[in-house]
Amino acid sequence: MRRTALLACATLLAGLLPLASARAAVADDPAPVPVDRFEGEVPFAGPPAEGLFTWGSDTDDPPALALAARDDAPEGDKVLSGTYDISGYGGFSHEFASAEPPRDWSAHRGVRFWWHGENNGRKIAFEIKDGGADGGSSELWTTSFTDDFTGWKRIELPFTDFAYRTDHQPVGGIDHVLGLTAMWGYAVTLPAGAEGAFAMDGVELYGRADPSLRAFVTTGSAVYPVDEGGTASVEVTVGTTGSAPLADPVTVAYETAGGTADAGRDYTPVRGEVAFPAGTASGTSRTLRVPTLKDRSAETAETIPLRLTVTGARAPAETPQVVVDAHGLPYLDGRLPVKRRVADLLARMSLEEKAGQMTQAERGALTAPGDIAAYDLGSLLSGGGSAPTPNTPEAWARMIDSFQLRTRATRLQIPLIYGVDAVHGHNNVAGATIMPHNIGLGATRDPRLAQETAAVTAAEVRATGIPWDFAPCLCVARDDRWGRTYESFGEDPALVDAMATVVQGLQGRADGRDLDRADKVLATAKHFVGDGGTAYGSSTTGTYTIDQGVTRVTRQELEAVHLAPYRTAVDRGVGTVMPSFSSLDLIGDGRGPVKMHARADMLDGVLKDRMGFDGFVISDWQAIDQLPGDYASDVRTSVNAGLDMIMVPYAYRDFRTTLVDEVRAGRIDERRIDDAVSRILTQKFRLGLFERPYADTAGAARIGSAAHRAVAREAAAESQVLLKNAGGALPLKKHQKVYVAGSNADDIGNQSGGWTITWQGSSGDVTPGTTVLEAMREHSPDLTYSEDASAPTRGHDVGVVVVGETPYAEGAGDVGNGHDLELSAADRAAVDKVCAAMTCAVLVVSGRPQLIGDRLGAIDALVASWLPGTEGDGVADVLYGRRPFTGQLPVTWPKSEAQLPINVGDSSYDPQFPYGWGLTTLTKVPRGGAATLKALGVAASAAERAGAEETGRALVTKARLIVQHKAADRITEAVAKPFADADRLLLTGRYGAAVQKLTQAYRAA
């Protein structure tokens, strides 16, 4: 009965049509071809399989989809229904299987479907995927419809309505022709900004293609820069949907007119017409040439629009512009000091241009690529997971070069500075070298190696055309329940301070002279200040429990714990600083919790004035939206607090307009604007972007290379912390028959963690690399692997159970937000079964300590593997004794969650394993007891006085090994507290005092 009304309407409509027309339609139109009936024939699945899948700019933005039974379904029994609440962008796709041939839609007029209208006036974008090797490598063509009706309505979208997407193309274009002969599916982009619901049914191809409506004209680019006196060549191409030859002739009349250049003085005017006769092959091009003239005067850039009038086809989406490059001005002279170039350029800028330089947008949120020039944007970024398709170094470079090309159409041609979160290698790019996360680097206690990992990251990032990295995170993680614990080098500011060598790995020398190298990037010290100290339960962001919460400390605690690493980073010349989302509550200042993005006392007062930071401050993602007040207040407060560039991923137009209005109203002093823009321009000049704005891909062949992976392998090996090794269970022997189990033994996504390819990361084969299991097979070819330990255990000498966490990032990983510190039930069962059957080693792959509890007694060897990245060979190197275990705990390993937060220096300190703990292999433990420790203490004090750092560290390490050997499984509070204190003293160069603390721990053991 549910279709009765629809059928009645259709019958009535048919009765009103002339009989001849109805018969012609039946005779001429092919039968509709179903694409989606939503009856369950197409599963919810992602590429490379065929299926429906959702996507969005963050974890909250993908819609919720379901196949729902409805009595009013226009077709069949079910419809696709969904709800959404999108802040950035989000939608869903139906993509065809990559392993199957693409589909041919060229015989049809268009695509249509039923849509249940909410009459909300919102625009819904509909996109089709044309050509290429698969759905991820196709061209995107788009159109839209408006939800301005109520109830079911059939939406018909002729293929002639679809336009080539100029704001984003996964591959930068294949042939700019809507061929329709190799189709990979469709996507629906839902409206952002308010909650909504939708229902959809019966997607199908309809009608017969009309050859007379299928022609279109494109140009090779929208912007054609040329040196003064040079000739621009503009390529004009004719194409057809379906790629058939032209059915009718097409003419393109062209004329130079308008723009900022003067005809006759700056260029020779041109006009004329090119013809594409009927029968011309689709994809045929003609070249139009626009000569420019030299007038021997220094000038800013000048534009020459080339207006095209197309007959017989659709015209290009944009009018191409020839641009005579700026020339002869002081700021363009690379021989001049940076300070003078900045002053000259700043003096030429309008307020609107200055505001544009302070604006950073997300590349996927650009309404149109022309907005880069229209709003004088200073920066773009890729948020976590915001990548071109295919996700290759070449596609990244092409994409960023296409954005950079748009800046050439601006008057001053100030290049963009593009930024990414490359927090453990170039982690956005599939195939890049993925390093251990910072917590693992902290475990290495090796500042030299940390610097080398950062140098590899910088080289791979810059080779894709990106000059700016939102790293390192210099937070001091004080509560392991925090979802960002693994982004910290550790819980002790002295350790974080020591690992700040990564700034030099990224940037080179502290004076910035290396920034223009093709293997260096601008670094970002984040998140200033105190984001590692937020109290559990203090977050007000969604379901987060600790991230973006409140750090409540005395001024002395702030200085000693949280500010210390930033002082070092500033001394090392870090180019940018990013404030924290969190709030700072300084005890005694009477202000209560204040968002860091509003704290002028910290940004201007401490960072810029007291520390002498001369780079620029970049906000975090939409962070000013968290400030109290309206949007104008958010802009005013943050800029006056000392923010120089604002990350407004989706609100770039509103931000720029509001900033200009606030300055003109006198609520922001233009001197504050000038200071901000001067800081931004300084770094752009240092990076060499004015001379070389486009990607230097000479180093792209080294991305994921053997040499780079060797560095990651070394870091993975040094990051492994041996917590227990009863009976010398490790290293494994070649003759042993090994049984491997656990959820993280064979999962590259799990061992890489969050911020890997996508923001949250994911399990599975997300990027090329070597899992722990694959690396172990190189040493034990006949080992047995059973993830859940269901395979028989009999006959094996030793078991290795690799357990731990699945990926997460930021507050999504907070304990209490769907996470805890317990092993999963499956992992616990695997540990219990294997360790009951044989000698066993348990490896914990995680971003923070996991609670082992009463299982510790049954485990012979326990390893904190952290998140080692793509190079599982590094883990195998220490398991099989190719390298010794040398890692030390960068955070305290608790006995229970009730102990948290627990940190070195606490008055009450009784952990499972103390900060700094880490057994070794392949090295004999030094002999001796209290007398030996006393002698070591005397020698360590002498080394300290002499400034003999290497000797002092070696003496303390010797004492530490003696204590660990004696304490073994008897780690009491009396042992743990002085032991942990000793490592903190070691990091601050107090070698004699460190040995004294270790002696105290020895006596307690």
Over residues 80-129, the pLDDT tens digits come to: 999 999 877 889 999 999 889 999 999 899 999 999 999 998 999 999 99
Query: Residue 448 corresponds to which tokens in the numbers above?
Result: 């030299």
Residue with tokens 């004696």: 966
Residue 69 and residue 307: Cα distance in Å, rounded? 53
Quick one: tokens of 531?
């984001």
d(CA 292, CA 321): 13
CA dihedral 244, 247, 249, 255 (to 10 degrees): -50
Mean pLDDT of 387-410: 92
Work out whether the CA dihedral 561, 563, 567, 568 comes out positive or negative.
positive
For the residues 885-891, what does the mean pLDDT come to? Answer: 98
Q: What distance in Å separates the CA atoms of residue 644 and residue 35, rounded to the nearest whole number?
A: 50
Q: What is the pLDDT averaged over residues 703-720? A: 98
d(CA 999, CA 982): 10
Which amino acids are annotated catalytic?
Answer: 620, 810
What residues contact 717, with CB distance under 8 A and at least 6 apart?
874, 875, 877, 878, 883
pLDDT of 686 above 80? yes
Find the angle CA(216)-CA(220)-CA(226) to the nearest 5 degrees.
140
Q: Give the H or E element holding residue 290.
A: strand 284-291
Q: Is the predicted pLDDT of residue 192 greater than 60, yes or no?
A: yes
* Percent of the chain residues past pLDDT 70, beyond the cut: 96
What is the rounded average pLDDT of the residues 638-653? Answer: 97
| Sole residue written with tokens 């390192």 | 472
pTM assigned to the model: 0.87
Q: Are strands 150-158 and 90-95 parallel, antiparallel or unpaired?
A: unpaired
At 396 the three-state DSSP class reads: helix
pLDDT tens digits for range 532-570: 999 999 999 999 999 999 999 999 999 999 999 999 999
Chain mean position to CA 404 = 20
pLDDT of residue 26: 43
Closest among 837, 831, 742, 836 to 795, alpha carbons compared? 837
Whole-number Å distance between alpha carbons of 218 and 236: 6
Query: If we measure between CA atoms, which residue out of 658, 576, 651, 584 comes closest to residue 621?
Result: 651
Tokens of 742: 């656990």
**pLDDT tens-digit map of 409-466:** 999 999 999 999 999 999 999 999 999 999 999 999 999 999 999 999 999 999 999 9
pLDDT at 527 over 90: yes
Classify 284 as helix, strand or coil.
strand
Residue 171, token pair as written in the block:
């591959």
Cβ atoms 115, 367 nearer than 8 A: no
Q: What does the pLDDT read at residue 167?
A: 66
Instruction: Give the Cα separation of 645 and 33 in Å (integer).
Output: 51
Amino acid letter, 817: N
Average pLDDT over residues 188-198: 90
Rounded to whole angstroms, the Cα distance separating 582 from 592 reads: 13
Per-residue model confidence as pLDDT tens digits over 219-228: 999 999 999 9
Q: DSSP state, 414?
A: P
- Residue 391, pLDDT > 50, answer yes
- What pLDDT was estimated at residue 242? 75
pLDDT tens digit sequence for 931-948: 999 999 999 999 999 999
Could you tell me the end-to-end alpha-carbon distance of the chain, in angstroms, rounded to an integer?
Answer: 82
Arithmetic mean of pLDDT, 466-471: 98
pLDDT per residue as tens digits for the range 362-379:
998 888 889 999 999 999
Average pLDDT, the chain: 94
Is 960 in contact with 982 (CB distance < 8 Å)? Answer: yes
Q: Is the pLDDT of residue 356 over 90?
A: yes
Which pLDDT value is given to residue 855?
95
β-bridge pairing 250-256 and 271-276:
antiparallel
Percent of the chain with pLDDT over 90: 87
- pLDDT at res. 171: 63
**456 CB-contact burial (10 Å; exposed 0-12 / middle 13-18 / buried 19+):** buried
Cα–Cα distance, 62 to 84 (Å, whole number): 7
Helix (H, G, I), strand (E, B) or coil at 393: helix
Quick one: pLDDT at residue 46?
87
Q: Rounded to an integer, what distance in angstroms lies between the CA atom of residue 693 and that of residue 467?
A: 10
The tokens of 747 are what?
């999962």
More confident position, 296 or 217? 217
3-state helix vs strand vs coil in the chain, percent to 5: 35, 25, 45
Average pLDDT of 54-74? 89
Alpha carbon dihedral 261, 263, 269, 271, in 10-degree steps, equals 80
